[in-house]
Chains A and B, each alone.
Chain A
Amino acid sequence: MRHIISVLMENEPGALSRVVGLFSQRNFNIESLTVAPTEDSTLSRLTVTTLGSDRVIEQITKQLNKLIDVVKVVDLTEGEHIERELMMIKLKATGQMRDEIKRTADIFRGQIIDVTPTTYTVQLAGASDKLDAFIDAIGTSGIMEVVRTGVSGLSRGEKVLSL
């Protein structure tokens, strides 16, 4: 099953490599990974999406917690949560395609953020499956380039991951 694991960790050199290293060392899977400092510049927030049985996910959270740089770990998928991913997608846009892409982007609440006579770049945010659906709707033949941030997420309501 897919899990979104959120990690609060020290914003120290080498901290990210310890997390990434742990995943490869213990044969854990990484679907996507995103990391950036928080409002407190001494802390970073890392989100990793991974696949695994309950036993594997339990090991992942325990092994992450063992890292000295890691302050807190939560498996967001255990409770109500919100997840978002940002995608920028560069598309061939000539002739009729220009209108078609614009319409599809509107339906998905995307924005066209760069325009040339032959291309559109669309920005789209949402859950990962929504981004997948947009790619399906556009069709792969018109796609020049795709870049996705990977999933970020947090728990709904009052629950927070903080010191």
Chain B
Amino acid sequence: MELLSGAEMVVRALKDEGVEYIYGYPGGALLHIYDALFQQEDVKHILVRHEQAATHMADAYARATGKAGVSLVTSGPGATNAVTGIATAYMDSIPMVVITGQVMSHLIGEDAFQETDMIGVSRPVVKHSFSVQNPEDIPGIIKKAFHIAESGRPGPVVVDIPKDMTTPTERYPYEYPASVKLRSYNPVSRGHTGQIKKAMDMVLSAKRPVIYSGGGIVMGDASNELTELAQMLNVPVTNTLMGLGGYPGTDRQFVGMLGMHGSYEANMVMHHADLILAVGARFDDRVTNALDKFCPTAKIIHVDIDPAAISKTIKADVPIVGPAKSVLSEMVSIVKASKKQIDKEALDAWWQQIEEWRTRHGGRFRTDDSELMKPQQVIEMLSKVTNGDAYVCSDVGQHQMFAAQYYKFNKPNRWINSGGLGTMGFGLPAAMGVKLNFPDADVACVTGEGSIQMNIQELSTISQYDIPVKVICLNNQSLGMVRQWQDMNYESRHSQSYMKSLPDFIKLVEAYGHVGMKVDKYEDLEAAMQEAFSLKDRMVFMDIAVDPFEHVYPMQVPRGSMRDMWLTKTERT
């Protein structure tokens, strides 16, 4: 058997796992591993400018591919800088393996230089974590880390490696395990057939059904099965923020995103439904609004890989624990074989009602109340210029909601955003992570002048590795979402939401060697955006001036039901 040092084992195990890129930042505790990285070419390392970006790059790769992303950060501040990225992945159930350096074993607990109890610090935001105690364990631990990160309900796994586990002169036999078995961890591989049959019987008896699907469809690779089932039944489909692209966004049966900033029709459909088939979604507070007023007439079927997600906030009438893909394909088979048909007359009446709702609001916004262009117009233009086929990596705030509402995602894994944690600064490194792995695809970072400054140092990483992402910065010169809440709930007292002394973004990106474009008029937008995407080899930053007074609508009224919404600044349901 081959003899390798601990440091070499780490790198080799990543290679054997099929990892092409890792994202990281060196430091004292990792020097042996970085030396091992230097001496091979299979695993390529991307040097970020801040560890948070390394985790977001790995995370976005996972969101785009379904495979675990990997980042490598040193002990102490390197590890703590990665925590936000780990928490971001955890909240959205994204598979990730984060290798953190640690001080030498004999120094642990002595407040050594750059020591942090990373296992402790990361505990609430990881699916699992490992601390390496013997170098021989490294291959097995890394195999387990990938297995745990990617299977069941995915999530981030931390592997903490003390420096003395990687000493170059100490060599041990290396063998990468072909498979892994854990007696305490056996995620279900299929749903309970009896429950699935019962569920489909309810669906076929429903008069006002809706499918409410989430990120579980995207990460569970179940988009085709979902689409097939929905279209066989002619049932309306709504997606959560995390689920966008799981069902084709331009299809007639798609009623839009639901929840706090969901479409009028999606929230109305949910509220009036008599049956909700929830798949890979978790009834979170940004979806349900007040729990006691949630969908009063609906029976609920809840399909999820994680039993703990079922009946956590809203009680399920029929719980089904299993992977979305296999459960949905069983559902398709049942419908195909069933003699019972869904009540067509009732469904026609339901669709008629839905079309009325669609006509009533249908995602309209005003363009005549401001000299400046509207953020929604920019997103619609992005959708047009990229044929709805780009990877759209978003930051957090109003621009994120506009992107979710107005970019029509027809494919899964294309909408990449921090849904659960709401991490500002996610967008740019996420776009970098995607572009690096899909060099031929159009990759846009939709951001604002607030979010972009949270990881703007990565403009330097983009220069180093030539990662030609396109940044679409909706510049409203304020922290738009905060400002909107202040307008609505604090009599427009804009406490600390005004971004005074913004940099000249054009000069800034030019200083890093990139292309900057300033757009002030809607008439210039299409040509400028066309040009930006035609510059295939250049990173382009579009600084687009948009109306600072615009709000995101619809917006659910706090403590109301799903149908209680503000539709404009003055109009309520």
Residues of A within 8 A of B (CB): 9-10, 13-14, 17-18, 21, 25, 55, 58-59, 62-63, 65-66, 68-71, 163
Task: Answer whether residue B503 sits at the interface, using C-beta atoms and an 8 A cutoff.
Answer: no
Q: A69-B184, A71-B184 are in contact. Are A14 and B311 (CB under 8 A)?
A: no
Residue of A nearest to B309 (CB): A62
Binds A, one of B116-124, B221-229, B329-337, B522-530: B116-124
Task: Answer whether residue B306 sits at the interface, using C-beta atoms and an 8 A cutoff.
Answer: yes
Cβ contact within 8 Å between A21 and B123: yes
Q: How far is the CA of A58 from the CA of B316 in the complex (A)?
A: 13
Task: Answer whether residue B302 sits at the interface, using C-beta atoms and an 8 A cutoff.
Answer: no
Top 8 nearest A-B pairs by Cβ distance? Answer: A62-B308, A68-B128, A71-B184, A25-B124, A68-B185, A21-B123, A62-B307, A63-B308
What chain B residues lie within 8 Å of A66 (beta carbons)?
306-308
Residues of B within 8 A of A (CB): 119-120, 123-124, 127-129, 131, 133, 148, 182-185, 306-308, 311-312
What chain B residues lie within 8 Å of A68 (beta carbons)?
127-128, 148, 182, 184-185
Q: Which of A9, A62, A69 gathers most chain B CB within 10 Å?
A: A62
Contact of B311 among A17, A58, A63 (CB under 8 A): A58
Q: How far is the CA of A128 from the CA of B184 in the complex (A)?
A: 31
- 26 A-B pairs within 8 Å (CB atoms) are namely A9-B184, A13-B131, A14-B119, A14-B131, A17-B120, A17-B123, A21-B123, A21-B124, A25-B124, A58-B311, A59-B312, A62-B307, A62-B308, A63-B308, A65-B307, A65-B308, A66-B306, A66-B308, A68-B127, A68-B128, A68-B148, A68-B184, A68-B185, A70-B184, A71-B183, A71-B184
Residue of A nearest to B182 (CB): A68
Residue of A nearest to B133 (CB): A13
Residue of A nearest to B315 (CB): A55
Q: How far is the CA of A65 from the CA of B188 in the complex (A)?
A: 13
Cβ contact within 8 Å between A10 and B308: no
Residue of B nearest to A25 (CB): B124
Residue of B nearest to A60 (CB): B308
Cβ contact within 8 Å between B184 and A59: no
Q: How far is the CA of A17 from the CA of B131 in the complex (A)?
A: 14
A23 to chain B, nearest CB (A): 11
What chain A residues lie within 8 Å of B127 (beta carbons)?
68
Residue of A nearest to B185 (CB): A68
What chain B residues lie within 8 Å of A13 (beta carbons)?
131, 133
Q: How far is the CA of A69 from the CA of B183 in the complex (A)?
A: 9
Q: How far is the CA of A14 from the CA of B117 in the complex (A)?
A: 12
Q: How far is the CA of A87 from the CA of B182 in the complex (A)?
A: 37
B53 to chain A, nearest CB (A): 26
Q: A17-B123, A21-B123, A63-B308 are in contact. Are A10 and B131 (CB under 8 A)?
A: no
Q: Which of A59, A62, A68, A69 gathers most chain B CB within 10 Å?
A: A68
What chain A residues lie within 8 Å of B312 (beta carbons)?
59
Q: A14-B129, A68-B128 are in contact. List 13 more A-B contacts (CB 8 A).
A: A9-B184, A13-B131, A14-B119, A14-B131, A17-B120, A25-B124, A59-B308, A59-B312, A62-B307, A66-B308, A68-B127, A69-B184, A70-B184
B189 to chain A, nearest CB (A): 17
Q: How far is the CA of A58 from the CA of B311 in the complex (A)?
A: 9
Q: A17-B123, A21-B124 are in contact. Are A10 and B306 (CB under 8 A)?
A: no
A20 to chain B, nearest CB (A): 10
B96 to chain A, nearest CB (A): 15
Cβ contact within 8 Å between B123 and A18: yes
Residue of B nearest to A69 (CB): B184
Residue of A nearest to B184 (CB): A71
B521 to chain A, nearest CB (A): 50
What chain A residues lie within 8 Å of B183 (beta carbons)?
71, 163
Residue of B nearest to A70 (CB): B184
What chain A residues lie within 8 Å of B148 (beta carbons)?
68
Q: How far is the CA of A78 from the CA of B80 in the complex (A)?
A: 42
What chain B residues lie within 8 Å of A21 (beta carbons)?
123-124
Q: How far is the CA of A71 from the CA of B308 in the complex (A)?
A: 16
What chain A residues lie within 8 Å of B131 (beta carbons)?
13-14
Cβ contact within 8 Å between B311 and A55: yes
A100 to chain B, nearest CB (A): 48
What chain B residues lie within 8 Å of A65 (beta carbons)?
307-308
Q: How far is the CA of A59 from the CA of B315 in the complex (A)?
A: 12
Residue of A nearest to B123 (CB): A21
Cβ contact within 8 Å between B184 and A10: yes
What chain B residues lie within 8 Å of A62 (beta carbons)?
307-308
What chain A residues lie within 8 Å of B185 (beta carbons)?
68
B346 to chain A, nearest CB (A): 33
Q: How far is the CA of A66 from the CA of B304 in the complex (A)?
A: 14
Q: How far is the CA of A107 from the CA of B308 in the complex (A)?
A: 46
What chain A residues lie within 8 Å of B119 (beta carbons)?
14
A64 to chain B, nearest CB (A): 9
Q: How far is the CA of A68 from the CA of B187 in the complex (A)?
A: 10
Residue of A nearest to B124 (CB): A25
Residue of B nearest to A72 (CB): B184
What chain B residues lie within 8 Å of A25 (beta carbons)?
124
A12 to chain B, nearest CB (A): 10
